Structures are given as structure tokens and as C-alpha cells.
Structure 1
Amino acid sequence: MTLQETAAPVAQARLSGGAFYRLVWKWHFLAALYVLPFMLILSLSGGLYLYKPQIESWLYADRTHVDITGPKLSYADQIDALTDAHGMKRLRLITVYEDPTRSTQIEYNTGDNVRSVAWVNPYTGEVLASVPRGKLFMRMVKKFHGELLGGKIGTKFVELAAHWAIVLMITGVILWWPRGKRSLRDAVSLPRSNGRAWWRETHMFTGMLAALLITPLLISGLPWTDAWGGGLSYVQTQTGQKSVSLRFGGGAPKSTMDSGETLPIAQIVAIGRNQGLAFPMEIKPPRKPDASYWMHSASRVRSEQTELVVDQYSGDVLKRIDFSDNPIIARTVSYGISLHQGELFGPLNLALNTLAAGLGVLLAVSGFVAWWKRRPEGELGVPRAPEAKLGWGMGLTVIVLMILLPLMGASLILALLLDWMLFRRLGWFRNREPMPAE
């Protein structure tokens, strides 16, 4: 399973002791060549996105809060004001807040069919701003974090980096674990050396903390990915563990009539309030005569995210979906997303995720500097490892990882094939000096 060395012939070694350590170090190094640039980028962008509410509150302060100047206009009048100002091809979503100083946020398609977000003063009808949804700063940060502006291809590279980052954490813990004269006290102590050794110790100390804080974030982010997330979605569907949410469509009940007067949005808000929905509320108006209102609590607390389907003519609640109605796997995935976004257990979650983002940056930088200082001049500096046979225990571990992390498995097979067919002949990813004996 290892990349073969082009150095002087070395006897086959068992995967134990120093031989195993060097083999793990080599794979840790090779994985880091790919992962660390992504870790730096994703830590910076993810750390920034953690503060989405605070950043948007500051960035859009001129449009999110208004002065109370009298009675509120009806939502219909606010929508008409937006239509007059920018044109409207489709009304998508209205977000209302309990705070009377908050503007009404409306998501819509312009007359040119550009999906946009507008803020309307509910007291005057003034359209405070309208921005294409894709141009919102934090949405661009999220998109960059998820796909590096590379679309479907970009998200595959991000997912591959996440897969290998988990392997990096596992191998890093093995390398960090006390061995020889290095005690547990040494392993958990702050870096004390100077020069190159300081960077190495910093990388190991940071990696120890990162394994505890970053690994859960890597795992909780996997449901968003294409390959792993798609596989999970298939398993959930086949086992009846799919989310019952109607947020992205699905079998919402129809209104009982297909004609008559559609209830005003203010009355739908009142129904949501009577049903105990937490603010802010997101309301999707019906588009067809037999369709219904869909509304949802956009609370950051997952257990409060109740959905209602309301008959547009009678106001009857046709369906209510509480978070607890979801199967256990769907709830677990949702809680994982909440953890990933720093929302699950309040300020402490936010603080730990912020620390994790900082550790990711330091881990990437210290790993690069430590490598740069130790590499031989003119060489990549791949750690030397013995040519070793893979034991059944390690083989089983690799197989399990390949099943759980499919992109990692596919890339590992590709790497081994390239090594066998090309890299070995070109002498890539190898050292020229023979490996010292045990």
C-alpha cells in the first residue's frame, strides 16, 4: 500500500515500531500536500461565516432597521411598492420579524428574472435596497467555502480535501502519540524549542487540539457534500430516515378550494403566532389557485424550527411539522449542521468553532514552515519509509475508510495506480538517500 522507494534495496519490514511510524508519517505528509492549502482557505472562510448574523447586521444596518413612523402598511402594499420600484416576476419568500424596527425582507425574481433580496420599510413602503441574491456578501463567502467558486467541480475538490483531512487527523494523532523518550507531558506541553524544532512542536501541539475540535466539524459538514451527502441521502430514503421537511418542496397538502379570496399575509403571520412559531418567520405564498401557504420558523434553535402548511382561503392548518417529527438520523444530521455553524449550544459553540478555525490556519501555516525548513535542498522532502507488507488489521482499516470516505478511496486507488505506472519510473515523491536501518 505504500509508494515504493527508489533508494537502496531495503528488506521487507513489518508494520510495527519505527517502520510503522515512518510509514504513517509518509502518508501523513503526502495527504498534507493536498489538504493543507484547502484547510487554510476553508478555515478562513468558515471562520468568517460563523459570524454571518453579526456581519450582516453591521454590513446592512442601513436597510435592516427603520424608524417607527406610524402604522405598518399591509404586506400587499409593501409588495406593490417593490414591484413598482424594481418589477417582479415571482414572489418567493417573505421574512417577518417580531422586532417592530426591522424592515420586511422579500425574496423575489425581478422583471429580468434575477433572483434577488429586497428590504422594504414597512411604515413608508420605501424600498431600502435590492440586491441579487448571489451578490450578498455572506452568500458569496458560503459559496466560496463550499465550492471555491468552482461550481460542481469545485465542490468535489473541497469534499476530497475533507475526506483526506479526516485521514490527516487520524495519522496526525498516531504521530503525536508519545513514543520513545517523549512522554505524555511533553506531548501536551506548549512548544519550547527554537527554530525548526519550534515549528514542528507547534504543528504537533496544534494538531492535537485540531483533532479534537476540527474532526467533528469535518464530519458534520459531510452531509452537504455531493458524493458522501448523496450516499447518505440514498440510505436515509431507503431506510425511512429522510427529513420530513417541506422546505425544498414535496407533498404539501393543497388548499381545499381553488377559488375565492386568498388570505392576506398578515393573517398568516397571526396564524403562525397562534401556533407558537418562533420569529423570524419565513412565508412562501401560494403560486397556484389550489396551492397553500408554507411557513417556517427561521430560528437558529433547531428544536424551534416548526413548519406549517396553511390553506390560502380558509386559514386552516393543513399540516404541521415539528422538528421532533423527523427521524433520528435526520435530526442528527440537522444537529450536526447546527454544530458546524456554531449554533448548537450558543456562545460556547461559536467560541469553540472560532478556535477551531484559528487552529486550522495555524496548522496549515506551521505544517508548511516545518516542511520548508526540514526539506533537503532541491527535493520535496518526502519522509522515507520501508517497503512494507500490509497486515490484515491495517488493510481492514484502509478498506473501512475507503467505504466511509468514497472520494478518498477513489483518489487513493488512483494515486497507487499512478505510482505503479508513472511516479516510480520518474522518481517522484521519493528521497535519493537510502533509508537508515532500524
Structure 2
Amino acid sequence: MEVRPATNPDDVTRVTFSTKSDPADRDLTVFINPYSGEVTNTLPTFGEWLPVRSWFDDLHRTLFLGDVGRLYSELAASWLWVLAASGLSIWVFRRVRKGRRRTLVIPTREAKGRGRLMGWHGALGVWLALGMLFLSATGLTWSQYAGTNVGNLREALDWTTPSAAAALPENTEVPEIAEQELPAALERAAESARDEGLDGIIKIVPAESGEAWTVSQAQRSWPEKQDSISVNPATGEVLSRVDFADWPLAAKLARWGVDAHMGLLFGAANQIVLGALAIGIIFMILWGYRMWWLRRPTTRAARSSYLRPPGAGRTPTRVAIFVIALLGVGADLFAPALGGSLILFLAVDLALGAFIRRRASRPDSTERKHRSTSVR
């Protein structure tokens, strides 16, 4: 259970708890008038998000496809930084080769058709590269598989987010808080938090008997307010305190990164930047498909040659295949969606290349028939 006391005189108190009838990732939030105790509303929530925000969060995380959609989202986030970094590298190498190191990043105006699209795609990609790298890195921190590995790494390096101690000191006995005594205990915890300087939005998390209650700030906009204390619910005594300023740098970066990714850190400005970044990525994808469409093979002969690997007649060296496979295995250990898909792509590419080479080495049916007739 979590309680968020009213911050302003005209606010309501939020009480969030889980029930057996709710899905595993959903809670129930009750809004209560702090003066009369009247329940003003009851809504299902995901974490702290109300239904509308929860709907967009589900769309973003799973595309409403459950675990399959969540894996797809992680796959996209895993490859986003690879595509951004490789595209930026190609652009830089081409600029250096052509001696255009100091020119502005603008699309090529002289080009036409596909060349013009490539100019727009490349220029926009350079401007958005840093944002795409940021989205990929922060998105993977709470993904299903890579996120778990990130959490394990942070724990091993002692970069986890600290919390106020939940255990009460020895020889401290706390009587069980009866239901009718719960409002008074919550009031004591809130007063202790205010006395400790925890202003703004706070949340109180009651614990089981024999454990301290946790009171923490919940402001995730800049400047972040994430200080927390543990209190004795029976007396309101403050037992321990953890300030955001004392968090490890990695924990701070994770908090800032996630909040910026969600558009919370800098309010409307943060959301406008994210919106522009999303629109830019959509245009890059559409231009990419359009460029392929303009270059697509339109005849049977063209389609046959189109399937041949770049530089047909040349096959990847065993060293290159081994290095790529090794990178895939290494990536698979930390980011399974990236490593697994890379290994799969490599296997399909090798199989397709072998098939095309065998097919190209055989005489076609007309030639075989001609040879057979000549022999007769």
C-alpha cells in the first residue's frame, strides 16, 4: 500500500493498493477528501500512472501484444543505437573523404529523386543521432532482458538506488497498528517527514509489523526531490535518512535518464523535444522505405542479381564470420535481443549466400537441355 497525502488545501489524498482481482501489474487507487473522508474517485493504475497514461505506457512497452510486444520493443531499442552509430559513422567518413569537414549539416539541394531523399535522411539522422542514442540507452535500462542485466551490473558495482532502512533498531517494539489507528499513524509519519524538510509531494509506504515505514519525496521534475526517511509508525521517530544528494552517480544518472525519457524531468520542454525526436525518427523510417522502393529491382534479372551479396563472387572470410559471431555471442550475454537477432541474421545471410552461389554455379535448365540434345 502507498499513501500520498494532499499537498495543497484543495488536493485529495491518494491511496494505492493491490487486490486479488486486479492483474499482476495493476493496482487500485482511491482518491479521498482529506477533510471529510469521502471517496471521490476510484481508478485502476499502473504504478503511479492513471488510466490514460497507463494506456500510452502499455502501447509503448508492449504494443498491446503482451510478452511478444515487449520483446519487439526491446529488439527495437537494442538496434536503435547500432543504427544511429553506424549511420553517423557513414556520414562522417563520407564527409572526410569528400573534404567537407566544416560544412553545415543540411540536406543536399542539388540532388534529385533518391539522392535528395538520402540527403534529407542523412542530415536529419545526424541531428537526431544523440537523441536516438539516449532513447536506446535509457529504454534498455528497464527492458525485460537487458534491463535485468543492467540491474545486476549496478548491484555488483554498488550503484543501486539506496533506500532508508526498513528494520527497526534492536529492542524497539512497535504495537500492531489497528485499522482505526492507521490515520493517526499516517499523520505522524507525514509530520515527521515535513519536520525533516521533505517538502512537495511525498508518499508513505506502510510496512508489516516490526518494520519501519518509509516516507519519500516523489517529485521527478527538475530539480529532483527524492529524499527519504524511515520512521517508527507508533511514535513518529525518524530512524534513518537517505538524501538524493548522497546517491551514487550511476543511480542519479539512471533516475535522470528515465525521467527525461518519460518526459518528466523538464516538463513541457522535455515533452516537446521528445515529440520532435519521435516525429523525426518516423520521417527517417519513411524516407528509408521510400529509398528502397526507388531502388527496388523491377525485372526478373534485376531481382536475381539483387539477391546476390554485395560484391558477388566474394565471400566473407572465416575471420570476419568468427568476429561477427563472437560479437553476437558477447552481445547475447548482456543484451539477448540484440545478440540473438545478430546471430540469426548472420546464419540467414550465410545460408542465403551459400544457396545463391550453388544456384549460380549450376547451368540453367535451357543450357542443360541444349547440352543433352547435342549429345544425342
Same fold, TM-score > 0.5, yes or no: yes
One-letter code aligned to 1:253 = A
Q: CA RMSD in A?
A: 3.4
Match of 2:70 in 1: 155
How far is 1:93 from its partner?
Answer: 1.5
Does the alignment pair 1:335 with 2:242?
A: no
How far is 1:333 from its partner?
Answer: 1.9
**Distance in 2 between the 1:283 and 1:236 partners?**
26
Query: Alignment partner of 2:17: what SS?
Result: strand
Match of 1:74 in 2: none
Does the alignment pair 1:104 with 2:13?
A: yes
Query: Alignment partner of 2:155: what SS?
Result: helix
Higher-RCO chain (CA-CA 8 Å, sequence separation at least 6): 1
Listed as ranges, the matches of 1:357-436 within 5 Å are 357-377=278-298, 379=303, 385-386=310-311, 387=314, 388-389=316-317, 395=323, 399=327, 402=331, 405-421=335-351, 423-424=352-353
One-letter code aligned to 1:231 = N
Please, which of 59, 77, 84 is the counterpart of residue 144 of structure 1? 59
Which 5+ residue runs of structure 2 have no aligned equivalent? 361-376
The 1:389/1:112 distance shift into structure 2, 3 A limit, reads closer
Q: TM-score, normalised by structure 2?
A: 0.75
Does the alignment pair 1:252 with 2:166?
A: yes
How far is 1:335 from its partner?
Answer: 2.3
8 Å contact kept, 1:302–1:323: no
Listed as ranges, the matches of 1:41-52 within 5 Å are none
The 1:406/1:174 distance shift into structure 2, 3 A limit, reads same
The 1:427/1:118 distance shift into structure 2, 3 A limit, reads farther
Percent identity between the aligned chains? 24
Does the alignment pair 1:226 with 2:144?
A: yes
Listed as ranges, the matches of 1:27-426 within 5 Å are 92-109=1-18, 112=21, 115-134=27-46, 136-177=51-92, 178=95, 181=98, 183-184=100-101, 188-192=105-109, 193-245=111-163, 252-254=166-168, 256-259=173-176, 263-286=184-207, 288-300=208-220, 301=222, 303-344=224-265, 348-377=269-298, 379=303, 385-386=310-311, 387=314, 388-389=316-317, 395=323, 399=327, 402=331, 405-421=335-351, 423-424=352-353
8 Å contact kept, 1:294–1:307: yes
**Distance in 2 between the 1:113 and 1:189 partners?**
52
**Distance in 1 between the 2:354 and 2:346 partners?**
13
Match of 2:370 in 1: none
How far is 1:240 from its partner?
Answer: 2.2
Q: TM-score, normalised by structure 1?
A: 0.65
Query: Alignment partner of 1:352: what SS?
Result: helix
One-letter code aligned to 1:150 = L
The 1:184/1:375 distance shift into structure 2, 3 A limit, reads farther
Paired residues, number:
331
Q: More deviation in 303-312 or 332-341?
A: 332-341
